[in-house]
């Protein structure tokens, strides 16, 4: 069964569209396009850290990788349904009645007849099997992806037709199909494992935790493969990056632009499928971090698409008659949220009363109003506010400096030396409540948010020490747990919420919070097929997360998107809010 992200008002969430158009360019001889070539220049506000879909951990890398690599199934940007991409048709799922995986599901899959790699070789189940082995390799730094594949136990490829294969799972899960078919893009075995290092390693061993642990202690081929696979060549060098997607990497000037060119003989040409649409000849991802430079690039038509436009500039841009004649402006409620990661492993932040004090010390309503020009909605947890399983009993914690001070006092933090910052005697040493807050360097909005939060927190006796970091350095600090507070954002799934990745103690958990109770809830959610029961479990887990405040949720942003009218293009609630490969050049 297809699963669709459910909203209380589909019309509001998916069709929130404001186009301020003063002239119809097709009927106005005064409006001409500066560029008429069939290439899309899209703005990225930071450099991809690498182009390797298994190792990448930022949305900037994903936006580029998605044009080069493909998954078995992918989300339709408009309907939010999971639909075939590399697959010939939808999977056939059969409950396993006996054998070692009794009670699980066997997914029968077949890759499209025409799907080939850049060297002309067919995309097969062996490539799926190789990619799965790479993800499950304990020496490969892929916890973000690996956390979604806990149910897979075996893959059998048809020897007579390797485009056909079956994936066996140990249990029925609420997003089993999504995990099997959409958790990772498929990578070509011939390019990424030319020595065949993973060929003779059984996937059943890698998918069994005890056996995988034993393999990790021996090293051998697994370790050798990981060292090679994680080297810079497979993430940064043109000749070692390739997939089945419509585009190939043409050039990459770090910090400037990434250029992708359309394959002239791409296998998906002429196939009527939304996940195979690829109209532009070239996609150029232009790195522009400065808001003023983005505004200037729009005014001079140097770029065709931009998301996350500066909120204080957005109204002036979309209300400008000349710009409105050339660009469509869109404001969907995005499937993402802005938050502050809290390192609960840190001694200063291990007490949830301190974390709650932080939440009460921040005036998020003022932040949305003054910095984002009202373009956002308060968030209270990791679930989209319009999801049917959102716990509506949970309300945003109000800005209340006095309550924050009281919570700190209850946790033993008081300003005993009169310097305005709460302190506490820990092991005979007076420790000030100075908390490092990491934010993205070179971005005025990030800095403005940080300064405002610092101002708020000071009123409650919390001293935020602002530290500007490059985006990739922040991600590294989150992974290693070498931070106290860190600004962040997260894309929200258009399908059902699967909390294992971010909240399980065995997942890619960057806050450090988790315990036996939450792990048990997460495990139960995964296998609860009854919607009402599952929604109750969802809400219980949300209530625990809310009580712990291991992540301080700020807002669900309203998209601030501009797309040039020389293209026919639809916006989406999925980040970044548009899909440049689907832009279709119009006639002027």
Task: List the CATH number of the domain containing 528.
Answer: 3.10.105.10
| Each residue's pLDDT expressed in tens, for the chain with a length of 588 residues | 333 333 333 333 333 333 333 334 444 446 789 999 999 999 998 899 899 999 998 889 999 999 999 999 999 998 889 999 999 999 999 999 999 999 999 999 999 999 999 999 999 999 999 999 999 999 999 988 998 898 999 999 999 999 999 999 999 999 999 999 999 999 999 999 999 999 999 999 999 988 888 888 888 999 999 999 999 999 999 999 999 999 999 999 999 999 999 999 999 999 999 999 999 999 999 999 888 999 999 999 999 999 999 998 999 999 999 999 999 999 999 999 999 999 999 999 999 999 999 999 999 999 999 999 999 999 999 999 988 899 999 999 999 999 999 999 999 999 999 999 999 998 899 999 999 999 999 888 899 999 999 999 999 999 999 999 998 899 899 989 999 999 999 888 887 998 988 899 988 899 999 999 999 999 999 999 999 999 999 999 999 999 999 999 999 999 999 999 999 999 999 989 999 999 999 976
Q: Evaluate whether residue 568 is within a structural domain.
A: no
CA gap 434, 414 in Å, rounded: 13
Q: Evaluate whether residue 3 is within a structural domain.
A: no
CA gap 259, 251 in Å, rounded: 5
Residues 210 and 345 occupy one common structural domain: no
The 10 Å Cβ neighbour count of residue 27 is: 7
What count of Cα atoms within 13 Å lies in the side-chain half-sphere of residue 21?
A: 20
Tokens 């005025």 — which residue?
444
pTM equals: 0.81
Residues 81 and 209 occupy one common structural domain: yes
Give the residue among 238, 234, 237 at the shortest CA–CA distance from 225. 234
Residues 214 and 348 occupy one common structural domain: no
The 10 Å Cβ neighbour count of residue 248 is: 17
SS3 state of residue 41: strand
How far does the chain reach from its first CA to its final CA, in angstroms? 42
SS3 state of residue 74: strand
CA angle in degrees (0–180, nearest 5) for 70-257-246: 25
CA gap 153, 80 in Å, rounded: 28
CA gap 215, 201 in Å, rounded: 10
384 alpha-carbon distance from chain centroid: 14
Residues 364 and 505 occupy one common structural domain: yes
Q: Evaluate whether residue 25 is within a structural domain.
A: no
Q: Evaluate whether residue 454 is within a structural domain.
A: yes
Summarised one tens digit per residue, pLDDT across range 6-36 is 333 333 333 333 333 333 444 444 678 999 9
Residues 207 and 343 occupy one common structural domain: no
Helices vs strands, H then E, count in the chain: 21, 23
Residues 353 and 214 occupy one common structural domain: no
The 10 Å Cβ neighbour count of residue 89 is: 9
What per-residue confidence (pLDDT) applies to 508? 84
Print the SS3 string covering 175-186. CHHHHHHHCCCE
Q: Evaluate whether residue 44 is within a structural domain.
A: no
Tokens 């005064």 — which residue?
30
Tokens 């971005």 — which residue?
443
- Cis before 476? omega within 30: no
CA gap 10, 512 in Å, rounded: 35
Residues in contact with 480: Cβ distance below 8 Å, sequence separation at least 6, in sequence order? none
What per-residue confidence (pLDDT) applies to 7? 33
Tally of domains within the chain: 2
CA gap 370, 180 in Å, rounded: 43
Task: List the CATH number of the domain containing 173.
Answer: 3.90.76.10
What count of Cα atoms within 13 Å lies in the side-chain half-sphere of residue 560?
A: 21
Give the residue among 500, 502, 576 at the shortest CA–CA distance from 341. 502
Give the CA diameter of the chain.
Answer: 79
What per-residue confidence (pLDDT) applies to 314? 94
Q: Evaluate whether residue 350 is within a structural domain.
A: yes
Residues 218 and 341 occupy one common structural domain: no
Please return the burial class of 239, using the count of CB atoms within 10 Å of its CB with bins 0-12, 13-18 and 19+.
exposed
* Cα separation values, 126 from 178, 187, 244, 260, Å: 19, 10, 14, 27
Q: Which two tokens stand for residue 348?
A: 């200063």
Taking the CA atoms of the chain, what radius of gyration do you get in angstroms?
Answer: 25
Q: Evaluate whether residue 54 is within a structural domain.
A: no
CA gap 449, 456 in Å, rounded: 11
Q: Evaluate whether residue 395 is within a structural domain.
A: yes
Q: Which two tokens stand for residue 359?
A: 């939440």
Give the residue among 8, 4, 5 at the shortest CA–CA distance from 392. 8
What per-residue confidence (pLDDT) applies to 12? 31
Name the residue range of residue 358's domain.
Answer: 336-557
The helix (H) or strand (E) run that includes residue 399 is none
SS3 state of residue 105: strand
Q: Are 360 and 402 within 8 A, CB to CB?
A: no
SS3 state of residue 450: helix
Q: What are phi and psi of 562, to 5 degrees?
A: -125, 130
SS3 state of residue 78: coil
């Amino acid at each position: 069964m297809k699963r669709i992200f459910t909203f209380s008002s589909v019309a509001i969430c998916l069709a929130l569209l404001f186009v301020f158009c003063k002239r119809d360019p097709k009927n106005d001889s005064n409006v001409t396009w500066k560029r008429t070539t069939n290439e899309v220049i899209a703005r990225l506000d930071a450099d991809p850290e690498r182009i390797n879909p298994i190792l990448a951990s930022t949305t900037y890398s994903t936006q580029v990788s998605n044009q080069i690599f493909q998954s078995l199934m992918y989300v339709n940007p408009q309907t939010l349904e999971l639909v075939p991409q590399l697959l010939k048709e939808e999977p056939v799922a059969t409950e396993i009645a006996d054998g070692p995986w009794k009670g699980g599901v066997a997914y029968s899959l077949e890759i499209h007849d025409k799907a080939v790699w850049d060297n002309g070789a067919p995309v097969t189940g062996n490539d799926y099997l190789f990619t799965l082995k790479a993800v499950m390799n304990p020496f490969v730094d892929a916890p973000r992806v690996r956390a979604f594949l806990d149910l897979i136990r075996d893959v059998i490829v048809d020897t007579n037709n390797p485009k056909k294969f079956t994936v066996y799972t140990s249990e029925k899960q609420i997003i089993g199909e999504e995990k099997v078919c959409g958790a990772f893009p498929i990578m070509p075995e011939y390019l990424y494992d030319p020595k065949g290092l993973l060929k003779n390693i059984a996937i059943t061993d890698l998918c069994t935790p005890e056996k995988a642990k034993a393999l990790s202690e021996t090293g051998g081929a697994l370790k050798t493969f990981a060292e090679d696979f994680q080297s810079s060549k497979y993430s940064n060098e043109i000749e070692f990056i390739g997939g089945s997607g419509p585009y190939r990497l043409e050039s990459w000037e770090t910090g400037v632009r990434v250029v992708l060119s359309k394959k002239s003989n791409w296998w998906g040409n002429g196939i009527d499928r939304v996940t195979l649409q690829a109209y532009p000849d070239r996609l150029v991802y232009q790195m522009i971090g400065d808001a003023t430079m983005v505004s200037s690039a729009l005014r001079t038509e140097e770029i065709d698409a931009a998301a996350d436009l500066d909120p204080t500039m957005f109204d002036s841009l979309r209300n400008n008659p000349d710009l409105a004649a050339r660009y469509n402006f869109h404001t969907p409620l995005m499937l993402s949220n802005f938050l502050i990661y809290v390192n609960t492993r840190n001694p200063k932040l291990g007490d949830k009363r301190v974390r709650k004090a932080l939440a009460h010390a921040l005036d998020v309503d003022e932040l949305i109003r003054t910095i984002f020009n009202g373009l956002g909605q308060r968030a209270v947890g990791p679930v989209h506010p319009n999801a049917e399983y959102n716990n509506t009993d949970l309300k945003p914690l109000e800005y209340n400096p006095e309550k924050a001070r009281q919570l700190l006092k209850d946790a033993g933090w008081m300003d005993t030396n009169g310097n305005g910052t709460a302190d506490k005697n820990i092991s005979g040493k007076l420790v000030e409540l100075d908390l490092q807050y990491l934010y993205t360097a070179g971005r005025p909005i990030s800095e403005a948010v940080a300064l405002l939060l610092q101002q708020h927190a000071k009123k409650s006796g919390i001293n935020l020490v602002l530290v500007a970091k490059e985006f990739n350095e922040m991600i590294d600090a989150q992974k290693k747990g070498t931070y106290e507070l860190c600004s962040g954002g997260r894309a929200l799934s258009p399908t059902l919420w699967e909390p294992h990745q971010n909240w399980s103690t065995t997942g890619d958990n960057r806050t450090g919070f988790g315990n036996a109770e939450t792990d048990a809830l997460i495990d139960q959610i995964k296998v609860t097929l009854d919607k009402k029961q599952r929604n109750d479990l969802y809400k219980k887990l949300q209530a625990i997360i809310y009580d712990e405040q291991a992540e301080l949720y700020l807002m669900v942003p309203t998209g601030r998107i501009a797309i040039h009218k020389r293209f026919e293009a639809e916006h989406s609630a999925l980040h970044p809010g548009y899909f440049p490969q689907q832009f279709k050049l119009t006639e002027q």
